[in-house]
With several copies, the nearest count.
Chain A
Amino acid sequence: MPFHLCCSITETENIAQDQFSIVFDSVKLADFVKAGQFLHIACGDALTLRRPISICDTDKSLVKVVFTVKGAGTRWLSLRKPGDMLDILGPLGNGFDMKGENLLLIGGGAGVPPLLLAARQAAALPQFESVTALLGFSDIGKAILLGDFAAACTSVEIATDDGSLGRHGFVTDLLKYRLNTKRFDQILACGPYNMLRIVSEIADEYDIPCQVSMEERMGCGIGACLTCSCKTKSAGKEKYSRVCADGPVFSSREVVWNEA
Chain B
Amino acid sequence: MKPDLTVNFAGVCFKNPVTVASGTFGFGKEYSSFYDLSELGGICVKGLTEKGRDGNPPPRIAETPMGILNSVGFQNPGVDLFMETELPFLKRFDTRIIANISGNTVEEYRRMAEKLSDAVDILEVNISCPNIKSGGIAFGTSPESAAAVTHAVKQVSKIPVMVKLTPNVTDIASIAKACEDAGADALSLINTILGMKINIETGRPVLRNNTGGLSGPAVFPIAVRMVWQVCSAVKIPVMGMGGITTGEDAIEMFFAGASLISVGTANFGDPKAPLKIKKGIDDYLIRKNKPSLDCIRGRLETY
Contacts and interface: CB of A to CB of B under 8 A. Distances in A.
Interface of A: 1-2, 4, 42, 46-50, 89, 216-231, 238-240, 245
B26 to A, nearest CB: 4
A229 B31 contact: no
Contact of A222 (B31, B70, B72): B31
A223 B57 CA distance: 17
18 contacts: A48-B217, A49-B61, A50-B268, A221-B268, A222-B31, A223-B30, A224-B26, A224-B267, A225-B70, A225-B72, A227-B60, A227-B72, A229-B58, A231-B57, A231-B58, A240-B55, A240-B75, A245-B30
A217 B61 contact: yes
Contacts of A219: 24, 61, 68, 70, 265, 268
B59 interface: yes
Nearest to A2: B33
Contacts of A218: 61
Contacts of B267: 220, 224
B55 A226 contact: yes
A218 B265 CA distance: 12
Contacts of B66: 46, 48
Contacts, number: 99
B67 to A, nearest CB: 6
B280 interface: no
A190 to B, nearest CB: 18
Interface in B32-58: 33-34, 46, 54-55, 57-58
Chain A facing B: main interface SS = loop
A245 B33 CA distance: 13
A69 to B, nearest CB: 15
A224 to B, nearest CB: 4
Contacts of A48: 63-64, 66-68, 216-217, 265, 268-269
Contact of B269 (A2, A49, A223, A240): A49
A4 B75 CA distance: 27
A93 B23 CA distance: 20
Contacts of B217: 48
Contact of A228 (B25, B46, B61): B61
What 7 A-B pairs are tightest by C-beta distance, nearest first? A224-B26, A227-B61, A224-B30, A227-B60, A229-B58, A222-B30, A223-B30
A49 B60 contact: no
Interface of B: 23-26, 29-31, 33-34, 46, 54-55, 57-64, 66-68, 70, 72, 75, 216-217, 265, 267-272
Contact of B24 (A89, A220, A231): A220
Contact of B271 (A89, A230, A231): A89
Given A2-B33, A42-B269, A223-B30, A217 B24 contact: no
A2 B26 CA distance: 16
A217 B271 contact: no
A239 B54 contact: yes
A199 to B, nearest CB: 20
Contacts of B216: 48
B274 to A, nearest CB: 13
Contacts of B67: 48
A47 B63 contact: yes
A224 B43 CA distance: 13
A33 B26 CA distance: 25
Nearest to A221: B268
A48 B245 CA distance: 10
A240 B54 contact: yes
B147 to A, nearest CB: 31
A229 B269 contact: no
A229 B55 contact: yes
Nearest to A220: B268
Contact of A226 (B59, B72, B269): B72
A217 B265 contact: no
